[in-house]
Amino acid sequence: MTDYDYDLFVIGAGSGGVRAARTAAATGARVAIAEDRYLGGTCVNVGCVPKKLYSYAAHFHEAFTESAGFGWQLPQPAEFDWATLRDNKIEEIKRLNGIYGRLLEGADVRLINGRARVIDAHNVEVVGETISAAKILVAVGGWPWTPDFPGKEHALNSNDVFDLETFPKRFLVLGGGYIAVEFASIFNGLGSDSHLVYRGELFLRGFDHEIREFTRNEMEKKGVNLHFETNIESVEKQSDDSLKVTLTNGETLEVDALLSATGRRPHLQGLGLDKLDIELNPDGTLKVNDRFETSIPSILALGDVTGAPELTPVALAEAMHMTRVHFADEKLPTMDYNNIATAVFCHPNIGTVGLSEEAARAEFGAIRVYTADFRPMKHTLSGSDERCLMKLIVDDANDRVVGAHMVGEDAGELIQGIAIAVRAKLTKADFDATVGIHPTGAEEFVTMRTPTRC
């Protein structure tokens, strides 16, 4: 027990903040949490959860068409009602917000609705109350950022795009990261004429090159219009409310909605940290040490606001690590950020863990690359020309699988299991000794015998 009002005051009730508050409270710490927006943060409200629901919705479209080859006769074309999807999603998110509230209540964490401002190393001010805490945790996440161009006020960001009043028949997304490829796929699947504009020669920079090329080809086959090596020059709203988008390559596109998916920035405005001279990373995120302490040790930070990989499971893992170090007094090694598996829910999905072929070659020199590029069994009758790519990267010196990548249906589901093997440093011989499950696409991961290249 300390003289402070609380042992931990958390700012931000997103994935990381809520997990930190609950786990710290479970150790007996007195915890309060402040949130000025919605419980569950980006992931629950305007990120992972609604995105995945919309991705499911978009997949139905091709499933209806593909079902004909299996004998189903449905009225064609099937009709999609945006308002039903949007409003059902809103209800589901309200349910999840309620669950988060009850979790905090059940953990005996005091929830304060308001944006907290840090006054000094141990005091915060929120809705007119000054509260002291032994430790303050900043877990406020990030906020979408849009570059400057004339007409940028007409661009939506990922906070707005889920709740559009009307369905955009023509949709354009700017960017080449996770959100851009996911939303280009989602709106294409839902029936929009969908465009993606990316400044580089190929989207998903940092991912395995072959995976990026394969994804480009599959997305093009599904009808997404990809515009690479160009950017938005300007946007003009027209009298019928449509948007005339002029690209730097001179092309013009007319669309009903424009989404900027050009990255996120730390959401530090109004928090008062600038007045405390807290040290920042070059990208403006909060600098923390391996105990999640900022340059003022009683002020902790984790999740997107620190520049860690912007992924919910990373924030959750950090929150649990932080609690064990600060509230259970455990001596833990630095959190391991290697081999974090991730999925991109473009259509088809990407699942990936470990090193890309390019990164592995740079790190180890001698590698073996195994690939399987095939037409999934389902599509022998569905009529779809969708293909699947699976890929293993092996360090030739010790036979360890150092990277596994997939583009195909449910790639995220499948890579999660493979991630355990990669993290456990299993060898290609271990993969080969694993008996496959037949008939699945996944069995390819244990039946690739001949290297595609070394």
Positions annotated as catalytic residues are 438
Q: How far apart are CA 339 and CA 216, in angstroms?
A: 24
Pick 133 or 301: Cβ nearer ligand NDP: 301
Position 262 contacts ligand NDP (CB under 6 A): yes
Least separation in angstroms between CB 180 and ligand NDP: 5
Q: How far apart are CA 165 and CA 168, in angstroms?
A: 9
CA 305 to chain CA centroid, Å, is: 14
Q: Which residues contact 119 (CB under 8 A, 6 or more apart)?
A: 125, 130, 272
**φ, ψ for residue 170, nearest 5 deg:** -125, 125
Position 54 contacts ligand NDP (CB under 6 A): no
Pick 206 or 439: Cβ nearer ligand NDP: 206
Token pair for 77: 């074309």
Residues 61-120 that bind ligand NDP (CB under 6 A): none
Position 35 contacts ligand NDP (CB under 6 A): no
Position 14 contacts ligand NDP (CB under 6 A): no
Provide the pairing of β-strand 129-138 with 123-126: antiparallel
**Is the separation of the CB atoms in 340 and 314 below 8 Å?**
yes
**Is the separation of the CB atoms in 36 and 97 below 8 Å?**
no
Member of 17, 40, 50, 175 binding ligand NDP (CB under 6 A): 175
Position 378 contacts ligand NDP (CB under 6 A): no
Position 177 contacts ligand NDP (CB under 6 A): yes
Position 406 contacts ligand NDP (CB under 6 A): no
Count Cβ atoms below 10 Å from residue 129 Cβ, excluding itself: 12
Residues in contact with ligand NDP, total (CB under 6 A)? 23
The region of 14-22, 88-96, 107-115, 177-185 touching ligand NDP under the rule CB under 6 A is 177-185
What letters, b where the CB count within 10 A reaches 16 and e where it falls short, cover 346-368?
Answer: bbbbbbbbbbbbeebeeebeebb
Residues 418-437 that bind ligand NDP (CB under 6 A): none
3-state secondary structure of 172: strand
Member of 342, 427, 434, 447 binding ligand NDP (CB under 6 A): 342
Least separation in angstroms between CB 197 and ligand NDP: 8
Least separation in angstroms between CB 90 and ligand NDP: 20
Member of 345, 370, 431, 445 binding ligand NDP (CB under 6 A): 345
Least separation in angstroms between CB 368 and ligand NDP: 28
Member of 19, 264, 267, 347 binding ligand NDP (CB under 6 A): 264
Position 209 contacts ligand NDP (CB under 6 A): no
Position 162 contacts ligand NDP (CB under 6 A): no
Q: How far apart are CA 196 and CA 437, in angstroms?
A: 37
* DSSP E strand stretches across 175-215: 193-198
Q: How far apart are CA 219 and CA 214, in angstroms?
A: 9
Position 231 contacts ligand NDP (CB under 6 A): yes
Cα separations in angstroms, 234 against 150, 199, 247, 264, 375: 5, 14, 7, 21, 41
Long-range contacts of 274-282 (CB under 8 A, 24+ apart): 276/118, 276/120, 276/121, 281/306, 281/307
Position 199 contacts ligand NDP (CB under 6 A): yes
The region of 195-203, 282-290, 295-303, 363-371 touching ligand NDP under the rule CB under 6 A is 195-203
Which residue's entry shows tokens 């403006």?
A: 284
Pick 92 or 233: Cβ nearer ligand NDP: 233
The region of 8-16, 74-82, 109-117, 175-183 touching ligand NDP under the rule CB under 6 A is 175-183
Question: Per-residue DSSP letters for 345-402?
Answer: -SSS-EEEEE--HHHHHHHHS-EEEEEEEE--THHHHH-----EEEEEEEETTTTEEE
The region of 14-22, 30-38, 87-95, 256-264 touching ligand NDP under the rule CB under 6 A is 256-264
Least separation in angstroms between CB 150 and ligand NDP: 14
Pick 159 or 342: Cβ nearer ligand NDP: 342
Residues 283-312 that bind ligand NDP (CB under 6 A): 310-311
**Which residues make up the interface to ligand NDP (CB under 6 A)?**
147, 175-180, 182, 198-200, 205, 231, 261-264, 310-311, 342-345
